[in-house]
Amino acid sequence: MLDTYTLYRKLYEHMGPQGWWPAESKIEIILGAILVQNTNWRNADYAIQTLKKKTQLQVQNILKLEIEELQTLIKSSGFYKNKAQTIFSLLRWLQQFNLDYQAIAEKYKSDLRSTLLTIKGIGSETADVLIVYIFGGVTFIPDSYTRRIYRKLGYKHTENYEKLKKHIMLPENFTNEDANEFHALLDNFGKNYFNGKDEKKYTFLDCYFEIT
């Protein structure tokens, strides 16, 4: 069974740097992390681009929208009523700190995750994505592709997000850049090679990681 650091190195050697998160600004990352929930990136990105045309993704412009208008703009992402409320709730919270992400990280430190989880609509995966990609933290993001890969590698506790997160520790020397890259590599590897509709891709995974 591969340890986490070896898995990271193997993926990096095979795939190279991923350049994630695909966005032009931190606000775009924040919106993407919310809009991609329970949908694919294509639908989320369409919603982002529609919202960008209307608001230039400026926080003040977004918060000036009526909630019904925001819902219409992000409708392609699905669950748009809940997501609109989450966007408002999170942006209003961030606005209290003048969008100073470093100040927020320094204020909450190890309590940042639990604090984010108190914001309506922010779940475990979104909170962890924000910690890594917005607040410069280091944490493991066991999304669905990651859990499937770890399951294939023989790990236990892969049945849900919190269980695997509890049992996988990132190396002590992991930097924010490492945490960022590891999540991106796992996610893109899953998209490219771990597709249950293609048995050849499962064979590739078996051979690559020497799984029996």
Task: In whole angstroms, give the CA distance from residue 204 to residue 212.
Answer: 13
Final residue before a domain boundary, out of 100, 133, 166: 133
Contact 71, 80 (CB under 8 A): yes
Helix orientation angle between 26-35 and 124-133, rounded to the nearest 10 degrees? 160
Task: Provide the domain limits for residue 113.
Answer: 26-133
Residue 90 sits in the same domain as residue 122: yes
Residue 36 sits in the same domain as residue 129: yes
What pTM did the predictor assign?
Answer: 0.91
Supply the pLDDT for residue 89.
98
DSSP classification of residue 157: -
Contact 30, 127 (CB under 8 A): no
Residue 77 sits in the same domain as residue 93: yes
Count CB atoms within 10 A of the CB of residue 66.
9
Supply the pLDDT for residue 209.
53
Final residue before a domain boundary, out of 75, 108, 133: 133
Q: What's the rounded mean pLDDT across residues 4-29?
A: 92
Q: What's the rounded mean pLDDT across residues 149-157?
A: 90
Residue 74 sits in the same domain as residue 150: no
Residue 124 sits in the same domain as residue 86: yes
All residues at 6 or more sequence positions from 82 whose CB lies less than 8 Å from its CB, including other chains = 121
Final residue before a domain boundary, out of 133, 156, 183: 133
All residues at 6 or more sequence positions from 152 whose CB lies less than 8 Å from its CB, including other chains = 194, 202, 205, 209, 211
190: tokens are 């899953």
Give the model's confidence band at 1: pLDDT under 50 very low, under 70 low, under 90 confident, else very high. confident
Give the model's confidence band at 2: pLDDT under 50 very low, under 70 low, under 90 confident, else very high. confident
Tell whether the model's pLDDT for residue 169 goes beyond 80. yes
pLDDT in tens, 67-108: 999 999 999 999 999 999 999 999 999 999 999 999 999 999
Residue 31 sits in the same domain as residue 123: yes
* CATH number of the domain where residue 60 is located: 1.10.340.30
Contact 14, 208 (CB under 8 A): yes
Q: How much of the chain exceeds pLDDT 70, in percent?
A: 91
Number of structural domains in the chain: 2
